[in-house]
Structure 1
């Protein structure tokens, strides 16, 4: 991961947020890594991307982290959604306890195996652990059953399979992985 720095996105970086998301959705692994299609993402108006960058740049609801190279290019990213107890998650299911939910984990092909994914995960998890009132004790993410490479990466980071499986209308089967706050 030489020379990349990990940081949160800034409100005005909507074009870069859009470009990274489109690149992720064009990746050959996208069908088992993301719930959105490239066609859907490309159909969003600029206002959507502005709102996405702004919403993930500050506050407690969401935060997007990117790996930025010295030339300004983004090698990868991850977004954290904060799910409060008593709300409904992205799958339409009730959230029993407050938690961070990692989504949109992506590293460009040329940076895979470099440690970038681990650095992005570390930044996202550190941010979740830093939140107060209420403190969050766990972070979760979902992995498609046909994405063993991603599952192995998350296990190396310390995530464990919870046993919870979400079956989507498309037939996809998403497995939940959890990371608990260290004592």
Structure 2
């Protein structure tokens, strides 16, 4: 293996920013992300520092990265912890219903090498290992026109749940929910 899959560290915000900007320049970024390259480019350093720190703490989210031997990041996926609808937390542990995988990206030169599969394996295993009540499912959304991503998700064991939602900013388009159950 010529890469390591690991969680992001808070002090790595500049690398997290660079990888996100690269993702937003991908030819299918308009199908996969809810922000543009220009929007992300305008965000101040504090935004990236806070975002990376939250993704590093592993409480409400965890960002995984694939790091090549030369230190370059080749891919990422973030797992967001989602609690049952309407649940309020007041300083005590709350039931964890599911995690939601977002911000999936693998650099073109690393596609087809197993990086994406390894990132997803890490995110799903992390989800199953969360303390407290067990996570029931891991989900994600994929734009109905993103056939490449949908085929990958099916290949690694995700199935369409039958649910879909309008794409923010484009209510004529849909995002299809995929899931893997525990």
Alignment TM-score, normalising by the size of structure 2: 0.91
Deviation at 1:35, TM superposition (A): 1.3
Residue equivalent to 1:14: 13
Name the residue aligned to 1:131.
130
Displacement of 1:108: 0.2
Structure 1 segment 62-141 matched on structure 2, within 5 A: 62-87=61-86, 98-141=97-140
Which residue is equivalent to 1:165? Answer: 164
Alignment length, in residue pairs? 172
Q: Any unmatched runs of 5+ in structure 1?
A: 89-96
1:136-155 map, 5 Å: 136-155=135-154
- Per-residue deviation, 1:124: 0.3
Runs of 4+ in 1 over 2 A off after TM superposition: none
Q: CA offsets, 1:6-62, max 9 Å, x none?
A: 000001000001000000000111011111111111111100000011001123200
1:153, 1:59 → 2: CA distance? 26
What CA distance in whole angstroms lies between the structure 1 residues aligned with 2:35 and 2:114?
26
Gap regions ≥5 residues in structure 2: 88-95
Q: Which has the higher strand share?
A: 2
Deviates more, 1:63-72 or 1:32-41: 32-41
Change (3 A) 1:87 1:54: farther
Match of 2:175? 174
CA-CA distance at 1:87 after TM superposition: 4.9
Q: Deviations over 1:119-173 (max 9, x none)?
A: 0000000000000212211000000001011001000110000111101332331
Q: For residue 56 of structure 1, give the secondary structure of its aligned residue in structure 2.
A: helix
Q: Pairwise CA RMSD of aligned residues?
A: 1.3
For 1:76 and 1:136, how far apart are their aligned partners in 2? 25
